[in-house]
């Protein structure tokens, strides 16, 4: 065991020593499981940063009793799944303590019992998704590694506990989300799936349709913000899983530029993560357009429809929809972007703020593709010129609606809203100055009414 691993284990355990003691005193086993043990051994995260989950031989009621007895707060929201939560005194983080689950994975197709509990750590570990996630750390510092997790980490290998094609099929069929999790770990750790894993995933990929799309989204979000999304996406393409969950992005994966696109992705912040979705879909749109040789504006509606379909499928938030929708509405080529008519540019900024800076970050990242970077500069300069005081985002005088009513004799109702909208649109389009006086705007409205009459 390398020296710093022992030190990391001690550091981690010292902050949970009391909790381990409470369970030991009751004759119950308590262990740290899953991702924390993996990341600690792989030195993928510092002990203080680890997201620690526990497994225990104690039934949920017993866990509650132990926590109560030791005056620890507890929460029973996850009790249906055998999980009791408590708050970690040192970090203030929520900790989950889950009763051992028995291995049910050898009975595919049978209806799962609501929840059943096991008594053996071994059974709990073998039902986990990957051997690297199927290790446990005991309070005494020893590591329970029954399925070659440490060896798999050393070999950077993704395989199910127990391995073998037959068992892998059963495990992936049992919960096809595991296919997306494998891709996520490939992207995060740059590990490789074994041949058995890839074969079984290829067979089981169609079963992804049987699970909820919210679960897809959670894993795909994590994949996209990982350091090596290309590795995960390529594997999903190879197994056919990408065709199941994100067929829209296939043109990007098939493009000769894919690796360069992925380099561009590294330039993007991971917060907000929807920038990375924007990158993925814009990349797919560009790759698709290159394939069809159709880069012109009329394609915008089609692209936006694609985003809308995907947003529905992945249950995106309104913000995610909007950010990606705005982005996808931009011209695809940098030359077109630079030549965007002033009116279109002003309208885009007004619609897109406060996300213009994010969108530009994305375009800059994409500008790193080939020689497009320099061509992007005029566009960015024009956007910059329309910021601050020159921003087209309308700012009306306070109480402008009231002024409208008194000065123009309007009754409260839609007419007031329409007048306000007309002024805003005129500011966006540069027909009226922004942050002007109420009287100037009124004069414009009166003049317009006179011309209309």
Q: Which residues sit at the interface with Mg ion, rule CB under 5 A? A: 35, 51
- Interaction residues for ligand ATP, span 38-77 (CB under 6 A): 51, 53
Q: Out of 8, 23, 29, 34, point to the residue binding ligand ATP (CB under 6 A).
A: 34
Q: Which is nearer to ligand ATP, 220 or 307 (CB)?
A: 220
133 binds ligand ATP (CB under 6 A): yes
CA distance 131 to 34: 10
Please state at what angle helix 372-385 crosses helix 342-352, rounded to 10 degrees.
Answer: 70
The per-residue b/e assignment along 358-383, b for 16 or more CB within 10 angstroms, e otherwise, is: bbbbbbbbbbbbeebeeebeebeebb
> Number of residues in contact with ligand ATP, rule: CB under 6 A?
10
| Least distance between Mg ion and beta carbon 53 (Å) | 6
Contact 132, 158 (CB under 8 A): yes
CB closer to ligand ATP, 194 vs 352 = 194
Give 143's strand partners: 137
Q: Pseudo-torsion of CA 256, 259, 263, 265, nearest 10°?
A: 80
Q: Does residue 430 contact residue 346 with C-beta atoms inside 8 Å?
A: yes
Phi, psi (rounded to 5 degrees) for 85: -110, 155
Work out what residue 98 binds among Mg ion, ligand ATP, none; the CB cut-off runs from 5 to 8 Å by kind.
Answer: none
Which pair of structure tokens corresponds to residue 321?
A: 């929809």
Pairing, β 94-99 against β 53-56: parallel
* Closest CB 275 distance from ligand ATP, rounded Å: 20
Contact letters for ligand ATP, residues 106-125 (x by CB under 6 A): --------------------
Q: Which of 35, 102, 139, 373 is in the footprint of ligand ATP by CB under 6 A?
A: 35
Site string for ligand ATP, 158-197 (x = CB under 6 A): -----------------x-xx-------------------
Q: Which phi and psi (to 5°) does residue 160 adopt?
A: -80, 155
231 binds, among ligand ATP, Mg ion, none (CB under 5 to 8 A by kind): none
- Give the CB-nearest residue to ligand ATP: 35
Q: Which residue is nearest to Mg ion (CB)?
A: 35
Cβ 160 vs Cβ 133: under 8 Å: no
Under the binding rule (CB under 6 A), the answer on residue 226 touching ligand ATP is no
With CB cut-offs between 5 and 8 Å by kind, which of Mg ion, ligand ATP, none does residue 272 bind?
none
- Using the rule CB under 6 A, is 128 a contact of ligand ATP? yes
| Least distance CB 316 / ligand ATP (angstroms) | 21
Cβ closest to ligand ATP, residue 65 vs residue 190 = 190
Task: Compute CA distances 258 → 190, 192, 283, 328, whole Å.
Answer: 17, 19, 9, 18
Residues that bind ligand ATP (CB under 6 A): 34-35, 51, 53, 128-129, 133, 175, 177-178
């Amino acid at each position: 065991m390398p020296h710093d691993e022992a030190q990391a284990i001690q550091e981690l355990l010292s902050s949970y020593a009391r909790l381990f003691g409470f369970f030991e005193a009751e004759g119950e086993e308590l262990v740290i499981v899953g991702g924390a043990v993996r990341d600690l051994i792989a030195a993928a995260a510092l002990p203080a940063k680890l997201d620690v989950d526990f497994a225990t031989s104690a039934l949920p009621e017993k866990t509650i009793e132990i926590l109560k007895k030791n005056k620890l707060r507890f929460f029973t929201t996850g009790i249906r799944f055998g999980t009791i939560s408590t708050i970690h005194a040192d970090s203030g983080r929520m900790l989950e303590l889950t009763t051992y689950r028995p291995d049910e994975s050898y009975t595919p197709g049978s209806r799962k019992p609501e929840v059943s509990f096991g008594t053996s750590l071994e059974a709990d570990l073998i039902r986990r998704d990957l051997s690297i996630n199927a290790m446990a750390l005991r309070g005494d510092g020893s590591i329970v590694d029954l399925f070659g997790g440490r060896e798999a980490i050393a070999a950077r290998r993704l395989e199910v506990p127990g391995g073998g094609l037959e068992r892998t099929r059963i495990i992936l069929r049992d919960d096809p989300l595991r296919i997306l999790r494998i891709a996520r770990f490939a992207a995060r750790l740059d590990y490789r799936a074994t041949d058995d894993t890839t074969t079984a995933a290829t067979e089981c990929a169609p079963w992804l349709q049987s699970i909820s799309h919210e679960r897809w989204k959670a894993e795909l979000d994590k994949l996209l913000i990982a350091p090596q999304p290309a590795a995960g996406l390529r594997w999903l393409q190879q197994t056919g899983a990408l065709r199941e969950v994100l067929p829209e992005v296939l043109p990007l994966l098939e493009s000769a530029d894919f690796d360069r696109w992925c380099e561009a992705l590294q330039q993007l912040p991971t917060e907000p993560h929807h920038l990375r979705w924007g990158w993925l879909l814009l990349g797919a749109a560009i790759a698709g357009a290159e394939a069809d040789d159709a880069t012109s504006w009329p394609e915008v509606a089609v692209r936006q429809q694609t985003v809308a379909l995907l947003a529905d499928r992945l249950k995106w938030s309104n913000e995610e929809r909007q950010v990606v929708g705005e982005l996808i509405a931009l011209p695809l080529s940098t030359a077109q972007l630079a030549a965007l008519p002033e009116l279109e540019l002003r309208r885009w900024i007004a619609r897109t703020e406060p996300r213009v800076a994010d969108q530009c970050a994305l375009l800059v990242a994409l500008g790193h593709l080939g020689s497009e970077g320099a061509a992007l500069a005029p566009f960015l300069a024009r956007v910059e010129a329309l910021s601050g005081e020159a921003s087209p985002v309308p700012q009306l005088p306070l109480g402008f609606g009231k002024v409208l009513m008194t000065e123009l004799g309007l009754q409260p109702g839609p007419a007031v809203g329409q007048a306000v909208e007309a002024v805003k649109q005129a500011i966006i389009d540069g027909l009226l100055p922004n942050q002007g006086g109420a009287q100037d705007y009124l004069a414009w409205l009166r003049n317009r009414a006179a011309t209309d009459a």
